[in-house]
């Protein structure tokens, strides 16, 4: 069994536990048999899930300490009141200017993957938004705003703000517009040497939460 990376506590009080999650550890148990974060944390305290990060994603991860707080935060996430900001390093330099939107609905594909609910060849960039030029297939709405922070040698660092919270949303959106995240072998091209990396280059940089006194949790790009 692989030793589990250790999270760092950013904030803890009677209502919340906020962590800096390392990359390479699953939130919940998976088929690898490696130690999961949930088992580590709940061995010491009672916690309730509020949101999730993928195994390869690092950064701000929040847990509630009571069902009442969990309900309040779940409502905030459902109402899209929680603002989430991620940093991603991608292959290529995204077109369309320094800030663009991605408005591409998603649906579940094969083998637990997700995909855009439309044909790849109908994805267009127009008036600052990536969208489908034809009617979408059955799926759920997914909206992301991205801003170019820097680029060099054919790679770019992006700030991504998902307005919706769909599974793998950022990974699918960036891959399907042609700029996959480095180290993402699920949605990128694993045979492309530019995709090779020691981790998934996706990091939850900042979480802005209303209610419960309101707070902002921030972790710089590692």
Condensed to tens digits (0 to 9), the pLDDT of residues 155-174 reads 999 999 999 999 999 999 99
User: In the chain, how many H helices and how many E strands?
Assistant: 3, 14
pLDDT band at 3; cut points 50, 70, 90: low
Between CA 155 and CA 106 the distance in angstroms is: 25
Indicate the DSSP class of residue 196.
-
Q: Are 51 and 165 in contact (CB under 8 A)?
A: yes
pLDDT band at 197; cut points 50, 70, 90: very high
Q: Is the pLDDT of residue 215 over 80?
A: yes
Indicate the DSSP class of residue 180.
P
Tell me the pLDDT tens digit for each residue of 89-146: 999 998 888 999 999 999 998 877 999 999 999 999 999 999 999 988 889 999 999 9
Tokens of 10: 């950013």
Q: What is the separation of C-alpha 168 from the centre of its chain, rounded to a whole number of angstroms?
A: 6
Four-CA torsion 46, 50, 56, 60, nearest 10 degrees: -90
User: What is the share, in percent, of the chain residues with pLDDT greater than 90?
Assistant: 81
36 tagged catalytic = no
For CA atoms 47, 49, 55, 57, give the dihedral sign.
negative
Catalytic site residue from 14, 54, 184, 192: 54
What confidence score (pLDDT) does residue 4 get? 66
Judged by DSSP in three states, 14 sits in coil
What confidence score (pLDDT) does residue 34 get? 80
What confidence score (pLDDT) does residue 2 get? 56
Between CA 10 and CA 18 the distance in angstroms is: 5
Between CA 140 and CA 58 the distance in angstroms is: 25
Question: For 84-122, b where at least 16 C-beta lie within 10 A, e where not — what string?
Answer: bbbbbbbbeebebeeebbbebbbbeeeeeebbbbbeeee
Q: What is the value of pTM for the model shown?
A: 0.93
Judged by DSSP in three states, 194 sits in helix
Query: Domains of the chain by range and CATH?
Result: 8-81 (3.30.2350.10), 87-202 (3.30.2350.10)
């Amino acid at each position: 069994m692989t030793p589990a990376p250790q999270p760092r506590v950013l904030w803890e009080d009677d209502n919340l536990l906020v962590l800096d999650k390392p990359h390479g550890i699953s939130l919940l148990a998976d088929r690898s048999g490696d130690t999961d974060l949930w088992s580590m944390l709940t061995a010491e305290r009672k916690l309730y899930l509020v949101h999730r990060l993928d195994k390869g994603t690092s950064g701000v991860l929040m847990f509630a300490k009571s069902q009442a707080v969990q309900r309040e935060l779940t409502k905030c996430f459902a109402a899209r009141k929680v603002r989430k900001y991620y940093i991603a390093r991608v292959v290529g330099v995204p077109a369309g200017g320094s800030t663009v939107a991605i408005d591409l609905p998603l649906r579940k594909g094969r083998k637990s993957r997700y995909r855009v609910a439309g044909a790849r060849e109908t994805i267009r960039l127009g008036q600052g938004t990536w969208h489908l030029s034809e009617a979408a297939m059955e799926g759920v709405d997914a909206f992301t705003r991205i801003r170019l922070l820097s680029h060099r040698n054919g790679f770019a660092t992006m700030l991504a703000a998902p307005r919706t919270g769909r599974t793998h949303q950022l990974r699918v959106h960036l891959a399907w517009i042609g700029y996959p995240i480095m180290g993402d072998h699920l949605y990128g091209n694993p045979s492309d040497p530019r995709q090779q990396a020691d981790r998934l280059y996706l990091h939850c940089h900042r979480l802005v939460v209303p209610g419960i006194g309101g707070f902002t949790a921030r972790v710089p790009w590692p």
